[in-house]
Structure 1
Amino acid sequence: MAHVAFRQASRIFDPARPPAVNRVNLEIADGEFLVLVGPSGSGKSTAMRMLAGLEPVDEGSILIDGQDVTEMRARDRDVAMVFQSYALYPNMTARQNIAFALENLKLPKGEIARKVQDAARMLELEPLLDKKPAAMSGGQRQRVAMGRSIVRDPKVWCMDEPLSNLDAKLRVATRAQIASLQRELGVTTVYVTHDQTEAMTMGDRVAVLKDGVLQQVDEPTHMYEHPGNTFVAEFIGSPSITILEGVTVKDGRALLGEGHRLDLGMPAGFAQKVTDRVLVGVRPEHWEIVSRTDEDRDDQCVPLEVQLVENLGAEAFAYCVAQMTPDSTVSIRQKRIAVRLDSAKDAAPGDVLWVRPRSGAGVFFDPETEINLEYL
């Protein structure tokens, strides 16, 4: 186990272009499971490879347990890597793949056998130890790759999208197994994924990257409820948050709806941080359906026309288009608004739902910087 620190760490592939990883400052506690998440090209895999010694650090430094490893070779850092592609030797059995690194270290045969057996028992690989990768499923191969890392007793465990090649059902099962295993071993772990569901369910903390720049590092639930900016708000959560642009601020209140009568409950003091407009984020579960008919609605609601109902069994979502008045200053960034339903039977394409955000549920952002007003 080890404490890891990125200190203004950058990776520059082309001096004429922005850095792939741009001055990242990040502390990872001893035994912590940190998830690096972001869209393709955000620099998350590059940052992890810099930690493992597979990419150079062009500016800044990386420390493991207080020791500067920036110029240290990968083999000397005591960092184990689990790759997306498994990277198993096809001509070796599972037992031989797991033992390979230990044999290179010239450990006694008895110790190697014990470590391999312990890892196999932990990962439920005992029946597969004498099989070659070609005879295994994707999930089994990934567990062998994990076993190869476990037996090394590394200071830091790096995983680069290890579940991306698995089918949906196996991803869920293996996700739970990795999280449980990490907690059992207590190894400091950096896990890279583009899947925000993996990030939310696995990590002690989540670090969001965009274009090589660290956007926010926080516990998953707190990040979901208090995103640092609109990018984090839109990236974390599925279906995505709705961003309302051009919401009027008047007399310290953020107002929406016909005649701007719907008060969105902006906290006191936020009005001093903006002028006459504010961005407002509303999660799908925070829309309250007031009426499904024009007769029962009131003027503090917004009409939404249902285009699609997504039935997921345990829950359902309606994807809608807002029916704004011609003189409205408000626009919807994502064009469609997702609203969580109590049941898939509650709406059908073509229906009109009269909705309003639940009191105090909105997230308010500066219209210029798009930073959450909580942090300004």
Structure 2
Amino acid sequence: MATVEFRQASRIYDPSRPPAVSRVSLDIADGEFLVLVGPSGCGKSTTLRMLAGLEPVDEGQIFIDGVDVTETRPRDRDVAMVFQSYALYPNMTARQNMAFALQNAKVDKATINERVDFAAKMLELEDLIDKKPAAMSGGQRQRVAMGRAIVRQPKVFLMDEPLSNLDAKLRVSTRAQIMQLQRELGTTTVYVTHDQTEAMTMGDRVCVLKKGILQQVDTPANLYDNPGNTFVATFIGSPAMTLIENVPFIEGRAVGGRGHALDYYMPRELAAKVRGDRVIVGVRPENWEIVGVNQPGAEYGLPVHVDIVEHLGSELYIYGHRQEQADELIAVRGDRITVKVERGVEVDQGDTVYLRPIEGGSVFFDPETEINYDYL
């Protein structure tokens, strides 16, 4: 177990182009499960490989347990990596695959057998211990790959999208297994994924990257409820947050709709930070209230035409576009509003629903920087 620290660490492939990883500063606590998440090409796997020593650090430093490992060879960093492709030796059994690194390190046979048996029991691989990868399913191979990392008893586990080759049902069960495993071992873990659902359910904290630049590091709950900027707001959460641009800011209030009858309930402490007459407002699907279907309610509601109805078993979402153009400057980013429909409300494709944001359910961003006012 160990702490990990990135100090202004960068990876630059081509000096004429922006860095793949740009000045990342990050502290990872002893025993923490940190998830790196972001779209393809954002630098998350490169960041992980820099920590492993598989990519050089062109600027800055990386520390493991307070020791500068920036120039240390991968084999001397005491980290173990689980790859997306499993990377098992096809001619070896599960036991041989897990024992291979320990044999190379000249660990005595009794210790090797003890560690392999311990990992096999923890990962429920006893029945597969003498089988080769060709006789295993994808999930079983991934467990062998994790067992190979566990037997080394490293200071840090590094996992690079280990579940991406598995089917949806197996991903869920293996995800739970990895979480339980990490809690039992207490080993510091850095996990890379492009799946924000994985990130939100697995990480103690989540680090969001975009184009090699760290956007926000926080707990899953804070990332969801109080995203640092509009990118995090739309990337974290499924379905995504609706962003409404150029919402009028009048006398300390963010308002919209005909006659400014729609109040987004902007807190006073945030209103004091606004310097212009427009703001960006973000509303999660569950933070809209439907006050009328096909006819206005008792109070004003934003009219939205329902384009798609999505049934997810226990939940129902609708996707629509704003009908009223009372203020031509107001625009919905992506021209789509997403609403989670409460039980008992009947809505069909083609209907018009009338919406109001619930009090305390909106997030407010500066239109110039697109940063959440709460962080300014």
Q: TM-score range by the shorter chain?
A: over 0.9
The answer as to whether partners of 1:297 and 1:354 remain within 8 angstroms in 2 is: no
- The reply on whether 1:255 has 2:255 as its aligned counterpart is yes
In 2: Cα distance, 1:375 partner to 1:47 partner = 25
8 A Cα contact 1:311 1:344, kept in partner: no
Matches within 5 A, 1:13-28: 13-28=13-28
| Corresponding residue number in structure 2 for 1:294 | 295
Consecutive unaligned residues of structure 2, counting only runs of 5 or more, are: none
Moved more, 288-297 or 247-256: 288-297
Quick one: which amino acid aligns to residue 37 of structure 1? V
Deviation at 1:343, TM superposition (A): 4.1
Q: 1:321, 1:337 within 8 Å by CA — same for their partners in 2?
A: yes
Aligned residues, how many? 375
Segments of 4+ in structure 1 off by > 4 A? none
| Identical pairs, percent | 67
Equivalent position amino acid for 1:284 in 2: P
- Aligned partner of 1:276 in structure 2 is 277
| Structure 1: tracts of 5 or more residues without a match | none
Give the SS at the match of 1:54.
coil
Determine if the alignment matches structure 1 residue 307 to structure 2 residue 307.
yes
Determine the structure 1 residue equivalent to 2:119: 119
Cα drift, residue 326 of structure 1: 5.2
Output aligned runs, 1:1-376, within 5 Å.
1-274=1-274, 275-299=276-300, 301-325=301-325, 327-343=327-343, 346-376=346-376
Q: Which amino acid aligns with 2:342?
A: D
CA contact (8 A) 2:257 2:302 kept: yes
Letter in 2 for 1:315: E
| Counterpart Cα distance in 2 of 1:371 and 1:35 | 22
Worse-superposed segment, 307-316 or 286-295? 286-295
Does the Cα contact within 8 Å between 1:37 and 1:199 map onto a contact in 2?
A: yes
Matched letter for residue 375 of structure 2: Y
Q: Which amino acid aligns with 2:50?
A: M
CA change 1:228–1:295 in 2 (3 A) is: closer
SS of structure 1 residue aligned to 2:26? strand
Shift of 1:325: 2.0
- Asked if 2 retains the 8 angstrom alpha-carbon contact of 1:317 and 1:344, the reply is no
Deviation at 1:11, TM superposition (A): 0.2
- Between 1:223-232 and 1:256-265, the stretch displaced more is 256-265
| Matches of 2:298 and 2:105, distance apart in 1 | 73
Q: Secondary structure at the match of 1:278?
A: strand
Measure how far apart 1:111 and its partner are: 1.1
Per-residue displacement from partner, 1:307-338 (whole Å, max 9, x unpaired)? 11110101110011111225432100021111
1:44-92 deviation digits (Å, cap 9, x = unpaired): 0000000000000000000001100000000000010000000000010
SS in 1 for 2:50: helix
Three-state SS of the structure 1 residue aligned to 2:238 is coil
Q: Distance in 1 between matches of 2:177 and 2:297?
A: 50
Q: Give the letter aligned to residue 24 of structure 1.
A: V
CA–CA distance in structure 1, aligned partners of residues 186 and 103 of structure 2: 24
Could you tell me the TM-score, scaled by structure 2's length?
Answer: 0.98
| AA at the equivalent of 2:168 | A
SS at match of 1:309: strand
TM-score (norm 1): 0.98
